[in-house]
Homo-oligomer: A and B are copies of this chain.
């Protein structure tokens, strides 16, 4: 048991860890991911390279933790459920659009994204630690809507998640057009109502 005079190694480690993660995010904005070296991150954080390699096997793994740190808490929360599915989804997607339009987050997410696409080990880690938990929260909200009769009973929830969130991710990745809250609204509306003509005699939505 440490005496009161002993510095707390856990707390000191945590401070160093946070300094490294912050340095990684700052520097990716300066030089871009490809040219960013562990050496540069170490120098910015005021630590030795060995300190970084002790905790992270690669630049990709470091960025993965930096990203979890940056976006993790907000993302892990359950989706809002006011009873109005379209309004709730629009709120969530609009927040996502705002995040993706934030330059610092944009660069960090592009860096992480490309690592995930190329590195199967990191992709598995990403799926386990971030994507799957978020996907379960999205599906939980859609399941509640299904129970409330706002979503067709025979809709596959995996496909539903892909249809609602996929277009936002793609437009961001490929910069095909500006990523706006109006687009988020259109995606939600179109995903819910479908592309086919609505029967004019059917019930109002």
Kindly list chain B residues whose C-beta atoms are within 8 Å of the C-beta of A152. 193-198
9 examples of A-B residue contacts, CB within 8 angstroms: A152-B193, A163-B163, A164-B195, A166-B170, A191-B194, A191-B195, A192-B196, A196-B205, A199-B202
**Which one, B118, B135, B160, B171, contacts A114 given CB within 8 A?**
B118
Inter-subunit contact A127/B176 (CB<8 Å): yes
The CA-CA distance from A186 to B160 in the complex, in Å, is 10
- Report if A92 contacts B (CB, 8 A): no
Inter-subunit contact B162/A171 (CB<8 Å): yes
- Report if A174 contacts B (CB, 8 A): yes
The CA-CA distance from A197 to B149 in the complex, in Å, is 7
**Which one, B113, B131, B165, B190, contacts A160 given CB within 8 A?**
B190
CB distance from A67 to the nearest CB of B (A): 14
- Report if A47 contacts B (CB, 8 A): no
Kindly list chain B residues whose C-beta atoms are within 8 Å of the C-beta of A187. 159, 162-163
A residues adjacent to B (C-beta < 8 A): 32-34, 110-111, 113-114, 116-118, 120, 123, 126-127, 131, 135, 149-153, 155-156, 158-160, 162-167, 169-171, 173-177, 183, 186-187, 190-199, 201-203, 205
Inter-subunit contact A159/B186 (CB<8 Å): yes
Inter-subunit contact A110/B118 (CB<8 Å): yes
Additional pairs, 9, CB under 8 Å, beyond known A166-B170, A192-B196: A110-B117, A123-B174, A152-B195, A158-B176, A162-B166, A162-B187, A165-B170, A192-B194, A192-B195
Kindly list chain B residues whose C-beta atoms are within 8 Å of the C-beta of A167. 159, 162-163, 166
From A155, which residue of chain B is reached at the shortest CB distance? B195
Inter-subunit contact B205/A183 (CB<8 Å): no
The CA-CA distance from A152 to B199 in the complex, in Å, is 10
Minimum-distance CB pairs A-B, first 3: A194-B194, A162-B167, A166-B166
